[in-house]
Amino acid sequence: MAFLEINNVSKKFGATEAVSDFNLHVEKGELVSFLGPSGCGKTTTLRMVAGFESPTSGRIVMNGEDITEMPPNQRDVGMVFQSYALFPNMTVADNIGFGLKVMKKSPDEIKQRVKEMLDLINMPEYTHRYPYQLSGGQQQRVALARALALRPDVLLLDEPLSALDAKIRVSLRAEIRSIQQKLGITAIYVTHDQEEALSLSDRVVVMNKGQMEQVGTPFEIYNFPTTTFVANFVGTLNAAEAEVLDPAKGLISVDGVQFISADDDLKTKRKGDKVRMSIRPERFSFASEGKKANVVDCAIENITFLGSVVRIQVRIGETNFNMDTFNNPFLELPKIGDRTQVTCSQNAVLILEE
């Protein structure tokens, strides 16, 4: 039995179904991210686990106990809010110790635990500061410490970094992951930032329109997206309509240009079927002498310098594809309008479900 089970959970707001038949089992100590665009139901699902929303149907079981109808203040769940939600009238120490005070712990115990938490977030000297005296990043670290002070079974993080600037986001997400692993706490992390989800999760749940699109490790989600939505939402995607020429050999055609795909899904198709194929930009490379499979003619349409990466737009047949190559100052890039050949491996050509 998993530590946290979300079984067939649905949530309706009037006629709108925000979450539809959501199923997820989270193991103890695992960090799972809910990734998706605004309005996809990820926060609603998180709020149902926290107890702030009641599922219309389905059950939520934590550590073997059904908590579906349990009030939020009786669940052993800590939550970090997007807007920090620190109590502005309390100092850092009072914020962190609030839950312990509610639980009527002794002042000495509260003081000791607050100190531990402040050490954990590397802010021991901020005890007596008020929230307005802290930066956004510091406030969120205090919010994390407050949520962890009660030693909850599950930690919920609702887009905790979205209000912070890019540099702080990167450093704080590493800190969150490090603390989560150090404490071995089970965590659910809601985000719409794919980089964030991929970088700190054990597993990622990609959501769309209230439904789970795909669940998998960051590696699986990025490299083997199973639906067009996941492929589009996670990373940059080249997608095109293709016609199946020979399912057994994995042969497909895009505007008359042939590709070979190693995707097993193709074997279920028949000759003449229309499918949607995709190739990640970084899976393309310029064809060198001797490479035979998936070597295709193309024209250079555009070149964009992105720092560590150079994005080259190539036209294959009538379709434009993006190709990413690492920036190398000594690499001679083609010019716009040049004709050349690009290639990709057979397992880079994926067949997507609609």
Binding test (CB under 8 A) with other proteins, winner from 39, 72, 216, 235: 72
Position of tokens 């599922």?
55
Contact code string over 73-112 relative to other proteins, x by CB under 8 A: xx--xxx-x-x-xxxxxx-------xx-xxx---------
The radius of gyration of the chain's CA atoms, rounded to the nearest angstrom, is: 25
Smaller CB separation from other proteins, 5 or 158: 158
CB of residue 63 to other proteins, shortest distance in Å? 17
Smaller CB separation from other proteins, 95 or 238: 95
147 binds other proteins (CB under 8 A): yes
d(CA 104, CA 112) in angstroms, rounded, equals: 14
Start-to-end CA distance of the chain, whole Å, equals 33
218 binds other proteins (CB under 8 A): no
198 binds other proteins (CB under 8 A): no
71 binds other proteins (CB under 8 A): yes
d(CA 229, CA 149) in angstroms, rounded, equals: 38
d(CA 135, CA 133) in angstroms, rounded, equals: 7
Binding test (CB under 8 A) with other proteins, winner from 52, 122, 271, 338: 52
61 binds other proteins (CB under 8 A): no
130 binds other proteins (CB under 8 A): yes
CA distances from 227 to 79, 264, 275 (A): 31, 14, 12
50 binds other proteins (CB under 8 A): yes
Binding test (CB under 8 A) with other proteins, winner from 36, 41, 51, 225: 51
**Number of residues forming the site for other proteins (CB under 8 A):** 29
Quickly list H helices, 184-235. 194-200, 218-223, 228-233
CB under 8 Å to 222, separation ≥6 — which residues? 198, 234, 235
CB of residue 121 to other proteins, shortest distance in Å? 17
Smaller CB separation from other proteins, 111 or 311: 111
- Residue-level length of the chain: 354
Judged by CB under 8 A, which stretch of 124-132, 159-167, 220-228, 251-259 contacts other proteins?
A: 124-132
The answer to whether 334 and 302 are in contact (CB under 8 A) is no
317 binds other proteins (CB under 8 A): no
Which of 56, 59, 68 is CA-nearest to residue 16? 56
Binding test (CB under 8 A) with other proteins, winner from 42, 113, 141, 146: 146
CB of residue 53 to other proteins, shortest distance in Å? 11
287 binds other proteins (CB under 8 A): no
CA distances from 160 to 47, 137, 142 (A): 14, 10, 12
Smaller CB separation from other proteins, 155 or 323: 155
Q: How many CB atoms lie within 10 A of CB 335?
A: 8
Contact code string over 5-44 relative to other proteins, x by CB under 8 A: ----------------------------------------
219 binds other proteins (CB under 8 A): no
Smaller CB separation from other proteins, 98 or 229: 98
Q: How many CB atoms lie within 10 A of CB 309?
A: 14
Which of 298, 302, 242, 296 is CA-nearest to residue 272? 242
DSSP state of 206: E
Residues that bind other proteins (CB under 8 A): 50-52, 71-74, 77-79, 81, 83, 85-90, 98-99, 101-103, 130-132, 146-147, 150
